[in-house]
């Protein structure tokens, strides 16, 4: 690494540090409030009645989207659209993201599973 580049990088670090120190008072207050809220929220339990809300919202979105994709040309493939829904749904269960292929399979009209009992 050249000395000139070293000097440049050293200067960028100083500027970045200076910018960090210069964060304005209003933003600092907001950050402190965000920190207090995060610490408080982590200690709160989510109301039981809210637990299925995220999953239901996602399931409803998937159902609507499936019908929409069946009736209209797909935007960029059903899986892409499902990923979009998952990304836009902040409340989605993380497991939903791992099961996108499963939901796409369902949306594509999965064959019925065999009955284990016979």
Of the two residues 17 and 101, which places its CB atom closer to another protein in the complex?
A: 17
User: Which among 24-32, 48-56, 62-70, 98-106 is the span making contact with another protein, rule CB under 8 A?
Assistant: 24-32
Asked if 75 contacts 81 with a C-beta cutoff of 8 angstroms, the reply is yes
Angle (deg, nearest 10), helices 78-88 and 100-107: 130
Assess 71 for contact with another protein (CB under 8 A). no
Binding of residue 15 to another protein (CB under 8 A): yes
Q: Which is nearer to another protein, 28 or 105 (CB)?
A: 28
Residue 45 binds to another protein (criterion: CB under 8 A): no
Residue 39 in the binding site for another protein (CB under 8 A): yes
Residue of 6, 25, 28, 45 interacting with another protein (CB under 8 A): 28
Residues 6+ apart with CB under 8 A from 57: 89, 91, 92
Q: Which is nearer to another protein, 23 or 56 (CB)?
A: 23
- DSSP per-residue letters across 31-89: HHHHHHHHHHHHHSPPPGGGHHHHHHHHHHHHHHHHHHHHHS--SS-HHHHHHHHHHH-
Sign of CA dihedral 87, 93, 97, 103: negative
Residues in contact with another protein by CB under 8 A are 4-5, 8-9, 11-13, 15-16, 18-23, 27-28, 30-32, 34-35, 37-39, 41-42, 75, 84, 87-88
């Amino acid at each position: 690494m050249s000395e000139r580049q070293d000097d440049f990088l050293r200067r960028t670090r100083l500027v970045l540090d200076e910018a960090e120190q210069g964060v304005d008072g209003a933003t600092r207050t907001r950050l402190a409030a965000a920190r207090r809220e995060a610490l408080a929220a982590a200690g709160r339990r989510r109301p039981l009645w809210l637990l299925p809300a995220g999953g239901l919202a996602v399931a409803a979105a998937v159902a609507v989207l499936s019908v929409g994709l069946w009736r209209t040309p797909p935007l960029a493939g059903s899986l892409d659209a499902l990923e979009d829904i998952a990304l836009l749904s902040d409340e989605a269960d993380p497991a939903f993201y791992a099961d996108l292929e499963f939901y796409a399979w369902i949306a594509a009209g999965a064959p019925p599973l065999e009955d284990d009992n016979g």
